[in-house]
Structure 1
Amino acid sequence: MAHRAAVVANKFLSLARQAGQTLTPMQLLKLVYLAHGWTLGLYRRPLISDPIEAWKYGPVIPTLYNEIRSYRSDPVSQPILGFHDTLSSDEDAVVQRVYDIYGGLSGPALSRLTHAPGTPWSQTYEPLSFGERIPNDVIQDYYVQRVKS
């Protein structure tokens, strides 16, 4: 069962807190997107139920963005209230692994990574339009290929 993006974001905030680190809104948005992508690639099922859109600086989850945008470029200092759900062991392992691999990258570095040529964002983004949805099948196809390589 797919979760709300804020549930996964809260898990990343918890991992960062345990590691004595913080995450900015940009980092959090990209980490949730990456965990969703890798879950689609590894298990062929979505991690989050929220739609993902192709914005200028990469993929964005608008519902999550609206929850944390008040932090601007400051670290997200509190869990997102009202979003408590338990991840399966597979999902939890993907989130942990994504944090281990990508958690130390800056927001701009994660943005560059998620909107490089060939990514789902680059296949979807239209410079003159706003909020083009990135379909899960496009994300899954990309991450299935990444899993295989």
Structure 2
Amino acid sequence: MGKKALSVARYMLEQRKRAGEAVTAMQLIKLVYIAQGYMLGRHRRPLFDDEDVEAWQYGPVVPSVYHAVKAFRSAPVQEVRGAEDAHFTDAETAVMEMVATLYGSYDGVALSTATHHAGTPWTVTRDWFGRNAPISNDIIANFYTDLLGRSSHSAL
């Protein structure tokens, strides 16, 4: 059985809470996307496979994660409703912890801005397929593989 995006969101939220950090809905949505990207770029397999990332107006969004946390608005997210328990592999856990550490201190606006740069999977998808189109895992994987090949691999 595949991993669900909501379980990834819950793991990322718990990771930031353990670090004593609050996370807004926008931050969490972007952290889930970035974790998917690093997993695809590093291991060539998705972190979650139950739904696509979509090219929404304010960047890449996993719809179920958005709907699970949108009620928190700009307040800290307290829980990810609908998340199931999931067993993550060591590789999956390592990617999520790395992303939480590298990107968790950036606010949602900074993370959203980083996903809008020219050549990102979001801009490529919106240019080719329009608003709200699914972002191909191949496009995400290629972008993050390239990013990981650089000496400094932060997307910010």
TM range (shorter): over 0.9
Change (3 A) 1:141 1:129: closer
Which residue matches 2:73? 72
- 8 A Cα contact 1:2 1:46, kept in partner: no
What is the percent sequence identity of the aligned residues?
A: 39
Please tell me the residue identity of whatever aligns with 1:91. E
- 8 A Cα contact 1:6 1:64, kept in partner: yes
Consecutive unaligned residues of structure 1, counting only runs of 5 or more, are: none
- 8 A Cα contact 2:68 2:82, kept in partner: no
- 8 A Cα contact 1:67 1:80, kept in partner: yes
Which residue matches 2:3? 3
Which residue matches 1:102? 103
Structure 1 residue 72: deviation in Å? 1.3
Matches of 1:135 and 1:124, distance apart in 2: 8
Range moving further from structure 2, 74-83 or 30-39: 74-83
Matches of 2:145 and 2:130, distance apart in 1: 28
Which residue matches 1:143? 144
Consecutive unaligned residues of structure 2, counting only runs of 5 or more, are: 151-156
Which residue matches 2:42? 42
Which residue matches 1:17? 17
- 8 A Cα contact 2:68 2:80, kept in partner: no
TM-score normalised by the chain length of structure 2 = 0.89
TM-score normalised by the chain length of structure 1 = 0.93
Give the alignment's Cα RMSD to 1 decimal: 1.7
